[in-house]
Every structure is written in C-alpha cells, then in structure tokens.
Amino acid sequence: MKIYFYTLGCKVNHYETESVKESLINLGHSCTNSIADADAAIVNSCTVTGQANLKSRQVLHKIRKQNQNCILILTGCFPQAFEDEVKDLDICDIICGSSNKMDIPKMLDEYLSYNNTDNCKKRKQIIRIEKHRKTDKIEDMCISGYDDKTRANVKIQDGCDQYCSYCIIPYARGHIRSKSLNEIKKEITELSKNGHKEIILVGINLCCYGKDLDDGKSIRLIDAIETACSVDGIERVRLGSIEPEMISDEDIERMSKLDKLCPQFHLSLQSGCDKTLKEMNRKYTSSEYETLCKKLRKAFPDCAITTDIMVGFPGESDEDFEKSLSFVRKIKFAKAHIFPYSIREGTSAAKRSDQIDKHTKECRAKSMESECKKSSYEFLKAQVGKICPVLFEKEKSTEYFEGHTPNFTIVKIPRNNLKTPQNSLRKRILYVKIEKAEENYCIGSFADDLTLTESI
C-alpha cells in the first residue's frame, strides 16, 4: 500500500510519525507525498490549542475530499484527550490515541481483513483509544534514520505530571515514561551509522527523564545527554524544550564539559509576571528563571536562550502583561514563540470567569512579538565576525547553501562563494565566517579553502 503521512505539532509527534512510517515500510508498504495516490493516509494530531484541533479536522476533510477511497487514520493527542469528540468523525476509518501508535499496522490489517470480505455490507470503523495508566511503560519506538532531515529527533521521554493550569497535555500524554540509557545509545548509534551528525533529544517533559526508571540508581536527563554525546560519529547533541526549575547547578557543570552539546537552551517561560506564573501552576519565579539564564550564559558563552511565551492568560491585567513584557525585554531571548492563551476544556484555567477577550490577546501577542524580534536581531548581529562550524542541510534555494551553527543561528552562503561547484553540502560541517545579519538569519562565507577542501 502507498501511505500518505501528515504530522501536526511538536518534535515528539514528528519522531513518532517517523517510527510508524519505518515500521510500515519494513512490512512492505511505501510512502507517497500525493494524497490522490494514497491507499491510506495517517494524520498524527496535536491538541495543545483549540486551533490545533481545528487544523486536524481541516486536514482530515481535505484528505477525504481529494481521495474518497483511501483508508483515513487519525492518531495522536487530539483523540486521546477528546475521545467523545472524535467518535463523531465518521470520515475516519481508524482512530487511535497517543499511546498505541505502533499498533497502527495491526489495525490497518484488521480493517482490511474485515472490510474487504464479500460479507461486508457496512464499513466497520475501528476506534481504539487506550486509557493511560501510571504503570505504563514508554511505547517501544525507534528510528534508524531520516531520509529528508539532517538533524535527527530522538524521543527519550513521554508524559507529564506537572499539570499546569492551562495545559491539556498531561491528559493527552499520560504519566512520565522514559527510554533506558541502553536503548538511547543503541538508537543513536544506528542514526550515526546512517549519516546523521546531529541529534536532538526530545520529550513531552524532557527534564523529567529518568524519574520512572528503577535500576538501583538515580538517572536524570544529564545522564541521557552524556550517553548521547558518547556515541562515535555524532558531532552535535541538541536539547528540546526544558523546564527551568529542573536544571541544577550540577547539571550545568556536567553539561559544560560536553564539547558535543550545542549551546542552545529552549527554556519554556510562559510569563514574566510572578502572579501569572503562580496561577499557571508553574514551579518557578521570574527571578529564578533569570538566575538560570545568567548561569547558562556564564557556562556557555554566546549560547542561545529561546523560549515560549503565552499572552492573555485568564486574569492577566494590563499591569501583569507589562511586567511580562519588561522581563522579556531584560532577558533578551535569541528567539521566542509567542502564542495567545487557548481554552482547553478539562483544565482548571478553562473554568475561570476572567477570560481575556480575543482582541486584547491579539494586541498583546503583537506587542510581545515586536519586542522579541528586536532581541532576536540583536542576537544575530552579535554573531557577525565570528567563525563557526555550520552543519549544512537540504538546500531550499538555488541561490544559497544553508545550515545551522551550534547555537542554532541560521547561516546562508551564496553558492558563488564556493570555487568548486557543488550540488549539495548536505550533512557536512564546514567552518564559516559570519559577515552580515538579516532579520531571521545571517550571511556568511567559507572561512578558508583548506577547511573546505578537507571537509568535502
């Protein structure tokens, strides 16, 4: 069968789609980028905001409109968190949750077995959403490589027990679960053999890694980082989003000794106002967050600190927002994802009567984005004049080679800068001198011909 894949949401979702895809390919199926040519289509959904649910529905209807005959499969966080809602999605043939994605090949066979029989008079829809239990282990997933990506996501953790007042994810993902250090090393070793030089450790609450593992000693995220860095052939290890209250001084010290660890830290802020943070049930203050940023910048000079910021949380006054804006101005993030609060039924914040109107949330989001763009550009300007190793990726343009520095600065180099013509520099790490900062990236040139000749 030819199968079409569509993924919404976070890096964990993208990793899981890749794992399901690899499993199906190993069974003899193939992939297609054409909806019209697909025998089956799998939509891996997100539910972090109401807009994410809407997007999932739109994608499903688009696929069904373009292909009336394909087997349409919905999986992921949307059906897991809102089971009653997705049961009305008659356009789907198979629906499963976030905890049993690797059962999709079996469910596909089951669907075909029943619905292809001569006695079948009515299509049988399969809905199989397993409830999360505290005793659950992490779903058995691994990947050997990405055909279309230079950097490889590696999921090492799932679930969250934090229960922030606005967040539906603990209900969609269940309790914390971790992959063993041996399995992590085995998977990353295979990725290295298949040409990946950089891996990204990802999870739903990455800093909770290891809390559920019981092998006679305390295992934490830093142990997983050190394990990843120990794999031969891997030259860069990058972290996904991390919770600021869970990074200790010992963690920073051990991380600073790892040459392969990329100096980019995505510390989820949400708000720079202490009143709002407390009502969000976040476990840190703005002062503690600022202290952590200072420690990281001291241990990792020129590191990039990126973040997520929510605006319009219920009860957020103009004064509260100004405090958050002022804090963001002080921290000077290299990059920030700004988003308005979205009501998620089932969370405590959704029950509050002091919801912020849509117009106010949009205005605050624009103000916050404007401030963050300033600090992002300042960060890029500070890179000018530096010579950095750049991992080149699949070229999106005929004019430029493009890649990332260790601190995740996007660098573009005009193709005519290369004396010997090359169709691609993909998956190669070359030294580049950064010469100019644009709004979202930097322009550079190769540092010297010797480095280039030896690397190519």
What residue ranges do the domains of the chain occupy?
Answer: 2-128, 151-381, 387-455
pTM value surpassing 0.75: yes
Sequential pLDDT tens for the chain (456 residues): 999 999 999 999 999 999 999 999 999 999 999 999 999 999 999 999 989 999 999 999 999 999 999 999 999 999 999 999 998 899 999 999 998 999 999 999 999 988 876 555 567 899 999 998 888 899 999 999 887 788 999 999 999 999 999 999 999 999 999 999 999 999 999 999 999 999 999 999 999 999 998 764 689 999 999 999 999 999 999 999 999 988 999 999 999 999 999 999 999 999 999 999 999 999 999 999 999 999 999 999 999 999 999 999 999 999 999 999 999 999 999 999 999 999 999 999 999 999 999 999 999 999 999 999 999 999 999 999 999 999 998 777 778 999 999 999 999 998 887 765 667 888 899 999 999 999 999 999 998 654 544 444
Contact 389, 406 (CB under 8 A): yes
Q: What is the DSSP string of 213-259?
A: --SSS---HHHHHHHHHTSTT--EEEE--B-GGG--HHHHHHHHT-T
What pLDDT, on the 0 to 100 scale, is given for residue 455? 45
- Establish how many alpha carbons lie within 13 A of residue 434's alpha carbon, considering only the half-sphere containing its beta carbon: 23
Q: Which pair of tokens denotes residue 384?
A: 């000018």
Residue 308: closest CA among 12, 48, 45, 81: 48
What pLDDT, on the 0 to 100 scale, is given for residue 454? 43
| CATH fold of 387-455 | OB fold (Dihydrolipoamide Acetyltransferase, E2P) (2.40.50)
Query: Whole-angstrom Cα distance, residue 403 to residue 413?
Result: 9
What pLDDT, on the 0 to 100 scale, is given for residue 289? 97
What pLDDT, on the 0 to 100 scale, is given for residue 453? 42
Query: Whole-angstrom Cα distance, residue 222 to residue 229?
Result: 10
| CATH fold of 151-381 | pyruvate-formate lyase- activating enzyme (3.80.30)
What is the helix (H) or strand (E) element at residue 433, kind and residue range? strand 429-437
SS3 of residue 450 by DSSP: helix
What pLDDT, on the 0 to 100 scale, is given for residue 450? 42
SS3 of residue 152 by DSSP: strand
| Residue type for position 219 | I
Interior/surface letters 272-311, b for 16+ CB within 10 angstroms, e for the rest: bbbbbbebbebebebeebeebbebbeeebebbbbbbebbb
Q: CA of 41: how far to CAs of 6, 32, 126, 189, in Å?
A: 8, 9, 15, 31
Considering the segment(s) 2-128 as one domain, its CATH architecture is 3-Layer(aba) Sandwich (3.40)
